[in-house]
Structure 1
Amino acid sequence: MRKFFYRSFIELTNKRWTSFLLRRFVQSGISARFIPSYIKTFNINIAEFEKEAAAYPDLHSFFIRNLKEGMRSIEGAEGDVISPVDGMLADTGIVSKSLNMKVKGKDYSIEEMLGSSEKAEAYEGGQYMILYLSPADYHRIHSPLSGRVIDRWDLGRHSYPVNELGLKYGVRTLAKNFRSMTEVDHGTGRMCLVKVGAMFVNSIEYTHEGEKWEKGEEVGYFSFGSTVILLFEKGKFHLNEELKVPVKVKMGGLIGKISRN
């Protein structure tokens, strides 16, 4: 029964008109009044802000805020992989032969998520990593490695929550939500960076449209907290053994290494 009511509520509220109204509100000057309480509620570190909190004209501008220069450092050597976001590295594992990844006891289809059996098959036996961004986190996305963009595509319309309830009661949230994929050739293989939209605000904006990505440079942002999934081909990525998942990570922090064999 709880599952039924939860899904019914999401279906009723997660529509184009509700998303439109919420977007209008967070981009209005009225929403700026809520910034101080938002900071307090989520215990956000204002010392990292590029600007004073009062300088943001609305909640949307605050959500996509930049950090002061030097607040994040890019760790590791040339072949190392960094976290593309601030967030929780909530899960990692191996893509199964049936092209699934298991999250919170559920199997998620890589093929459904990517929208292509050909794309999915490239990651069979490879590593997946799931990073959740909370509403309190820095929402900008950076390149986890250096490489050449070989494809970009978007899928999905609505977005279910990607919090614990959303994963438990939602309808294949990570594979069904609005999502935007970027596939990158890093020299010895491919990586796919999947950006999954959050409830209500599906906006995933690119700030870098070029074909060349440099490790650590900004490539886009979420308009609200959401999820990033990284996919690596079999044998091409080695997880940082010091990470004990689940673990909070910062953008630029070392999460693994690309195999050059």
Structure 2
Amino acid sequence: MIQPLYRILIELTNGRWTSFLLKRFARSRVSRLIVPSFARIYHLNQEEMEKELKDYPTLHDLFIRTLKNEAREIDPSIDAVVSPVDAVIEDIGTIKETSQIEVKGKVYSIEEMLGDQEVLKKYLNGTYMILYLSPSHYHRIHSPVSGKVTKQWTLGTKSYPVNKWGLKYGVRTLAKNYRVISELMTEFGHVAVVKVGAMFVNSIETTHQGTELEKGEEMAYFSFGSTVVLLFEKGIFRIDSLIQPPYDIKVGQKIGVLNKG
């Protein structure tokens, strides 16, 4: 009975007022009462949390929890690209010359997603990867590569569900939802990290300051479940042969390697 209720409230809510009320409730002290049941329903790994369950004052604090330092190991190989999030890799493919990609039978425009034709040019015929975070996942976002942040910008005003049903039945959610985009320049080429909101405006908080990012360093966090889209410049990325979507992955695990384009 509890699980369907959580699903309705957290995974499927997209109305302006219902999202506002949920956001307000999740940040209220009252929400602490459901922290234990939420952790149980979504099978949260309490052993890796930095705090004990009783120490989270609100449901929101549980969502944006940090982990113990040793909970995630970052692949140290210089050319390795690592997962920026705990997630399910839902799709991988090539960005067409037209800037289109197809996800769950729906066509998306990378041009619309990025909102910048000059930036887009770098990624035509490159690779995209879609990583979906459910409410059960750790919600901090880390850099998949080491590099310099050359540009960061925000687009979109509303956010709708980006789970598999949202991707299948929604209207261009990945390209229209509220999103924060960071472009990094590595010694191999450009990588864009598109952080896509899933519930309501400003559900993405940036935590990194400065222009330099080390692989595995925290960049931002999501409030509630959402999606990260990685974009790689043409010819610089080769996916790990073991990865076949849908594929469960954790922060720091190798998803592929970079090579000179």
The 3 A distance-change label for structure 1 pair 13 and 85 is closer
Percent identity of paired positions between Structure 1 and Structure 2: 52
Which residue of structure 2 aligns with residue 124 of structure 1? 124
- The structural deviation recorded for 1:210 is 1.0
CA distance in 2, matches of 1:200, 1:235: 35
Q: TM-score, normalised by structure 1?
A: 0.92
* Residues 129-208 of structure 1: pairs in structure 2 closer than 5 A: 129-200=129-200, 202-208=202-208
Given that 2:64 and 2:223 are in contact with CA atoms closer than 8 Å, whether structure 1 keeps it comes out as yes
Structure 1: segments with no counterpart, 5+ residues: 1-9
- CA offsets per residue over residues 57-92 of structure 1, 9 Å max, x none? 001100000111201101141121000000001110
- The structural deviation recorded for 1:202 is 4.0
CA distance in 2, matches of 1:183, 1:176: 18
CA distance in 2, matches of 1:133, 1:188: 28
Which residue of structure 2 aligns with residue 21 of structure 1? 21
Which residue of structure 1 aligns with residue 115 of structure 2? 115
CA distance in 2, matches of 1:166, 1:244: 21
Which residue of structure 2 aligns with residue 87 of structure 1? 87
Given that 1:83 and 1:250 are in contact with CA atoms closer than 8 Å, whether structure 2 keeps it comes out as yes
Given that 2:84 and 2:143 are in contact with CA atoms closer than 8 Å, whether structure 1 keeps it comes out as yes
Query: What is the number of equivalent residue pairs in this alignment?
Result: 251
- CA offsets per residue over residues 148-183 of structure 1, 9 Å max, x none? 000000000111101122112211000000011000
Given that 2:95 and 2:123 are in contact with CA atoms closer than 8 Å, whether structure 1 keeps it comes out as yes
Which residue of structure 2 aligns with residue 217 of structure 1? 217
2:97 partner letter:
K
- CA offsets per residue over residues 69-119 of structure 1, 9 Å max, x none? 201101141121000000001110000111011100111000000112222
Deviates further, 53-62 or 114-123: 114-123
CA distance in 2, matches of 1:195, 1:246: 19
- The structural deviation recorded for 1:20 is 2.9
The 3 A distance-change label for structure 1 pair 13 and 109 is closer
1:21 partner letter:
L
Which residue of structure 1 aligns with residue 52 of structure 2? 52
- CA offsets per residue over residues 193-242 of structure 1, 9 Å max, x none? 00000123641111112100000111110011100000001101111112
Structure 2: segments with no counterpart, 5+ residues: 1-10
CA distance in 2, matches of 1:112, 1:91: 19
Given that 2:144 and 2:216 are in contact with CA atoms closer than 8 Å, whether structure 1 keeps it comes out as yes
CA distance in 2, matches of 1:31, 1:47: 22
1:14 partner letter:
G
